[in-house]
Amino acid sequence: MADKIFEIQQKSALTKARTGKVALARGTVQTPIFMPIGTVGSVKSLSVLDLETLGAQIILGNTYHLWQKPDLEVMENAGGLHNFSSWQKPILTDSGGFQAWSLDKLRKFSDEGVEFRILDSGKKRFLTPELSMEIQTILDSDIALVLDEALDAQVSESEAKRAMIRTRDWAERSKIEWDKLQAVKQEKTPGKNFLFGIPQGAQFLDLRRESAKLTMELDFPGYSIGGVANGGEPEEIMYRQVLAQTEILEEEKPRHLLGVGTPKDIVQMVARGIDMFDCVYPTRNARHGSLIFKIDENSYETVQISATRFRQDFSPINSNSKFPELRLYSKAYLCHLFRAKELLAYRLATLQNLEFYLDLMHQIRELISQGGFDSWWEKYGPVGSVKL
């Protein structure tokens, strides 16, 4: 039987939203939670001290990229990703499955695994479920993911079923190898790491339900729902994909949604039973000068800070921020930094967007705990979209 790592604390009366805590070796994570993306062991432009000030509880690292650089020898000699990056709180690592989808011109699938052509050198490397487990064991991530095959939203039902079955087979191979590696690891070092399964199914709700049931048969301690928002599908389709699986997956296990999404998407997905989120949206947008600002309890605004309207806006970037820099510097100054391509711009913008996201998660937890989520969640959205 899978280890019990999740405790539900408070449930919404009218939706599937809940607060809870995930007990991991390096700390307890309060949910719902957002995980900043630390692809190569770094959340771009920020230090671990910044992440601690933000209140980040857990970050995400990327198995494929860390396998390439710095490589497994460096990671093993460093004693794992926590020691290497100096981040001592929990880390979740993906499996390489997302790169197998996103690097579509540089990879080739087979039942055995995924062959990648490395862009820098032209060399080929082969990632199997077993090797993904080995890499993640060396990284020593608190939560690892099985290797999966994600697909574009526009695939046929037969393609989606084939990938779903392959993902289930890979999940079984991943779990067998993971259990072996963990048994050896725990003889040497204390603390247990956990492996999450990944239900897929593309946009086909029957396949989504079938995949959830097949993944449940392997009895993972938690799940990471995959393949949502892989092709810019409409919001309602994404929401239905997720609900089809959260209605089936065991309530007592944590549910992570891979790669979603906007602030509105996160609120909608919490209402559909998701506990953990990761997405490049706040950090990638920040590097392109797209900033998210809270308007009120029900709405937010996304702006391009380099726009002319901000050239002489001398108000603080965020007068309520935890960070002195965001209270000190003006929007006009940040506009100038982006126009001048100064590196400080990326850090300030990233701080703003991640602070917004982590504050939103705190707001969600408080609303669920106090019983206010049910009357709030449908109203929440970007400026102009609030329902009356």
Residues belonging to the active site: 94, 278
CB-based contact 95:146 (threshold 8 Å): yes
- Domain spans in the chain, listed from the N-terminal domain onward: 6-278, 287-382
Task: Give the C-alpha separation, 170 to 112, whole Å.
Answer: 9
Return the pLDDT at 150: 81
Task: Give the C-alpha separation, 200 to 259, whole Å.
Answer: 13
Task: Give the C-alpha separation, 298 to 301, whole Å.
Answer: 11
With respect to CATH, is domain 6-278 assigned 3.30.365.10? Answer: no
Supply the DSSP string of 316-372, one letter for each residue. Answer: BS-TT-SSHHHHHSBHHHHHHHHHTT-THHHHHHHHHHHHHHHHHHHHHHHHHHHT-
- CA–centroid distance for 68 within its chain: 21
pLDDT tens sequence across 186-237: 888 878 999 999 999 999 999 999 999 999 999 999 999 999 977 667 899 9
Task: Give the C-alpha separation, 277 to 34, whole Å.
Answer: 5
pLDDT tens sequence across 60-103: 999 989 998 999 999 999 999 999 999 999 999 998 866 666 66
pLDDT tens sequence across 102-149: 666 566 889 999 888 776 767 888 999 999 999 999 999 999 999 999
CA distances to 145, 160, 195 from 200, in Å: 13, 8, 16
